[in-house]
Amino acid sequence: MSYLALLAETFIVTGPIFLIVVLGIVLKRLDVMNDAFVAQSSRIVFSICLPVLLFTSISGLSLGEDLDMGIVNFSLFASIGTFLLSWLVAMLAVWPREDRGVFVQGCFRSNLGVVGLALCSNAYGEPGLALASILMASMTVIYNILSVVVLSAYQGQERINWLTILRDIGTNPLILAILLALLVAALQLPVPQLIQRTGQYLGSLALPLALLGTGASMNLRALRHSSLVALLCVVMKTLLLPALVTLGAWYLGYGGMELAVLFLLFVSPTATASYIMVKSMGGNDVLAANIIMVTTVVALFTASFGLFLLNVLKLV
């Protein structure tokens, strides 16, 4: 296959995501979507549609054949490793000191539930979506814990309310859906056809609606006011850290779909949940918003180039 054909194939994976995000921006500008609609639709997506999508993609797996705990463990160690490297860079290069926690979270915390899942689903269909969903469950837990730790270190929080953190993790609809699906798959419980078909209808709404909301929530003016700290974070999040994780996974013998899914999850832009956490803990929410905005734009291009390069090198 020629390089041009490979590039075209790569954009089939990333292009639809980019176009739906752009459509969200346009619809917001035309007042077809407003803030109230985005808020309500996001609630429906994350409370109903996305959990249903995750459940339907995992519950039919044969865990003995389809689940490799090695890649789950690797994703956890890679998340911790990117967190520690980001913190080291923050201590050396980020001023004022109070912005370091925001920077670190912006570097290591990926938008797994929307962009990450969409990329993996477009690239590999149901198998890619199922693998990404399982990795997302463990990574989301570690993301929440590490984010609180680093933000508390720089925002003057005297005490960390771990009970609240554990409660939020334990009641997260996405995590609950994944755990329930894993239980159903482990016990090989049959899911009635009526439930499966209904789940497919609801699940099919999840990613397009979430991506439209992502576009409608974006403030393009943030691009003109990005600080050097935000730009450094963008380089870390969309270039350096995904490259290191992918190189490490390849060194350990991962290839094909597994290597591509790891790359796509780690190259995904900064999670929108990071803004909420920064704001609730009294951090620099303007910096957090800028990081989310710029990484969302840049990551769609670096994901395309990275996937193209992996194909050229015949690693996936």
Per-domain boundaries in the chain: 3-312
Q: What is the pLDDT of residue 219?
A: 77
Q: What is the pLDDT of residue 64?
A: 74
Spans of the chain, pLDDT less than 50: none
Q: What is the pLDDT of residue 22?
A: 94
Q: What is the pLDDT of residue 280?
A: 81
Q: Which CATH number fits domain 3-312: 3.30.70.360, 3.20.20.120, 3.40.50.300, 1.20.1530.20?
A: 1.20.1530.20
**DSSP-assigned letters across all residues of the chain:** --HHHHHHHHHHHHHHHHHHHHHHHHHHHTTSS-HHHHHHHHHHIIIIIHHHHHHHHHTT--HHHH--HHHHHHHHHHHHHHHHHHHHHHHHH--SGGGHHHHHHHHH-B-IIIIIHHHHHHHHHHHHHHHHHHHHHHHHHHHHHHHHHHHHHHTT-S---HHHHHHHHHT-HHHHHHHHHHHHHHHTPPPPHHHHHHHHHHHHHHHHHHHHHHHHH--GGGGGG--HHHHHHHHIIIIIHHHHHHHHHHHTT--HHHHHHHHHHHHSPBPTHHHHHHHHTT--HHHHHHHHHHHHHHHHHHHHHHHHHHHHTT--
Q: pLDDT tens-digit profile of 275-298?
A: 988 988 889 998 998 999 999 999
Confidence (pTM): 0.93
